[in-house]
Chain A
Amino acid sequence: MLFYVFASIAVVASLLVIAQRNPIHSVLLLVASFGALSGLYVLLDAPFVAVIQIIVYAGAIMVLFLFVVMLLNAPVEDTEYDQKVHPLLRQGPTRFGVLLAVALVAELFWALTKGGGESGAFAGGAVSSVRTIGRSLFTNYSFAFEVTSILILVAMVGAVVLARQER
């Protein structure tokens, strides 16, 4: 039951994210969507992922987005046509986007219903304690974990270089 509550919150909030004119509203709605997804992770016996979803995604990445939106202080729409017509109802490539999304959902639905009855309820017994994840992260995945730190460092340097004022 709780699954459907969280799932509908996530879907509705995500739909509203791409339907908003004001980017600040989009960011705040995406935070709501991430909260619902975090609830779904709890239902999937993944408390570690649920917590870092809130801390890293909602707490860090979305705040970064909010900073940039407020820093730029850009006008919500550029042209008069954009002001009149809702962003999802414009001419041109938007039609293609709708088509693609509908095709993707239809295909997925077809594949999942066609696949047969093996997708039953989940097996009992949660395995994913934080201890298991941490042990695996620092043994089997230690190389990837260290490479991740280099990735973060490179991204940090790149962001500073890109956003710097040139004089």
Chain B
Amino acid sequence: MTPTLSDYLMLSGVLFAIGAAGVFMRRNLITILLSIEIMLNAVNLTFVAFGRALGSADGQIIVFFVMTVAAAEAAVGLAIVIALYRHRESLNPDSFTVLKW
């Protein structure tokens, strides 16, 4: 049987849930950034699936912009990770608590 729109949406929802769970469960900055990438990809899949269902190319164009934002986010996020690691010699977000008080 051929996959329908809701199959793609379901898959996208599962991937987004995996990414969200990763952000909440893992205490490693690199893995948290990777989980954010998983969530961005789940959203991209939704855009492409809806674009295909509606017969429009706009979904793919929005995916292009999402990828640009993801690249910028990864670059800045990894730069912050490097700066934080220089300060504390740790990648555990629980050890960066100076902004709390």
Q: Which residues of A contact B (CB under 8 A)?
A: 3-4, 7, 10-11, 14-15, 17-18, 20, 23, 26-27, 30, 33-34, 37, 40-41, 43-46, 48-49, 52-53, 56-57, 60-61, 64-65, 68-69, 71-72, 74, 78, 82, 87-88, 90, 93-94, 96-98, 100-102, 104-105, 108-109, 112, 115, 119-123, 125-128, 132-133, 136-137, 141, 144, 148, 151-152, 154-156, 158-163, 165
Contact = CB atoms under 8 A, between A and B. Distances in A.
Contacts of A158: 75-76, 79
Contacts, number: 234
B57 A127 contact: yes
Contact of A68 (B8, B9, B13, B81): B81
Interface string B42-82: 00110011011101111011011101111111111011111
A33 B41 CA distance: 10
A8 B39 CA distance: 16
For the complex, would chain B's binding face be called helix, strand, loop or mixed by DSSP majority?
helix
Contacts of B3: 3-4, 43
Contacts of B73: 155
Contacts of B19: 14, 18
Interface residues of B, number: 72
Interface of B: 2-11, 13-28, 30-31, 33-35, 37-38, 41, 44-45, 48-49, 51-53, 55-58, 60-61, 63-65, 67-76, 78-83, 85-86, 90-92, 95
A49 B44 contact: yes
Contacts of A122: 2, 4-5, 52-53
